[in-house]
Amino acid sequence: MELDVKLSPLVYESLYSLLVAQEKYQETLSQRLGEIGRETSWLAELAEAYADPVEGVLVSLDSDHAVLASWILSSLRNEGPSTSFNNLLKADLSEKVVLHGIDLNQRTPEFNPFVDAWILGKDFGVGASYLPRELPVNLNDEDILSAYRGLMAHTALLLESESNWSELSANSLLWRVSGLVEGLASLGTSEGLTLKQSYDRLVQTHRDVLPKVRLTGWIDFDEVKRYRNVLTHLGSDGELTFKAAASRVNDMSNRDGHINLVRIITQLVCAEIGGLLQQASLPGSAEWDTLKWSLRHDW
């Protein structure tokens, strides 16, 4: 599964309209847009451009549109988590979808955006809060990027049918999540950290942009590591035996705890990408003078 955020023009109409309406963000947005020679009034022009694309709202715009939006949004990282803005976007978009005669229950992933850690991505539309999630910008580390893609593909498979869930497939989630936590925490450093230390460092690093993180179903990442190792080595850790660990992870009632780990990884990856974008120049392929032609207006 490739990272590819193709979204409907309606998403961008909603997003830019909401940014225009958020007075508390105007100073930060003004500084950001000034980097590309624009003023905040330009956001209203963007909203209007996306509101009436020649080919209609069912067209899927390529990822560079999401890159531009994410580049703008990433400037708001110091404003706190993007949870409230994400909720506003989903609510406003749902209203627009209904007005265009689209069934909310049958809309395709092109109408399922999310804003996490001030990055615009796309919910894949499988289940469990629409995991997995596609992102518009790649991480610089190819190994971590490849691992993230693998985790998203594996998650999609597991959510596709309950019959795909097993002790072995669940343990593979624990291993991939653990690897990504340690990999993300070690970027740019050779310092050796435990799994829990790695997770705690990431949460501390991105504390201003992450929503309140809860390890649903787990005490901490030490417990995640404990189960992972017992299941891998067919051993025991104190009172935790392989049989007991396998029984727990194979129980569908405990699935949400595993899926929540995947959700946390997505938040951490978004936070890392947002940090990169905040310090980066806008990529040439995401400049408006290039993107506007995909809306096929007579500019």
CA distances (Å), origin 91, targets 11, 24, 43, 235: 11, 20, 19, 48
Determine the angle formed by the axes of helices 167-185 and 221-233, rounding to 10 degrees. 130
The predicted pLDDT at position 297 comes to 60
Q: Is the pLDDT of residue 272 over 70?
A: yes
The predicted pLDDT at position 57 comes to 72
Q: Please give the model's pTM, rounded to 2 decimal places.
A: 0.89
pLDDT band (50, 70, 90) for residue 2: low
| Residue (of 77, 93, 74, 138) closest to 269 by Cα position | 138
* CA–CA separation, 258 and 171 (whole Å): 9
pLDDT band (50, 70, 90) for residue 44: very high
The predicted pLDDT at position 71 comes to 97
The predicted pLDDT at position 217 comes to 85
The predicted pLDDT at position 188 comes to 72
- Give the mean model confidence (pLDDT) for residues 41-45: 96
pLDDT band (50, 70, 90) for residue 215: confident
Mean per-residue pLDDT over the chain, rounded: 88
The predicted pLDDT at position 130 comes to 60
The predicted pLDDT at position 54 comes to 67
> What tens digit of pLDDT does each residue of 130-170 get?
677 888 888 788 899 899 999 988 988 888 888 888 989 98
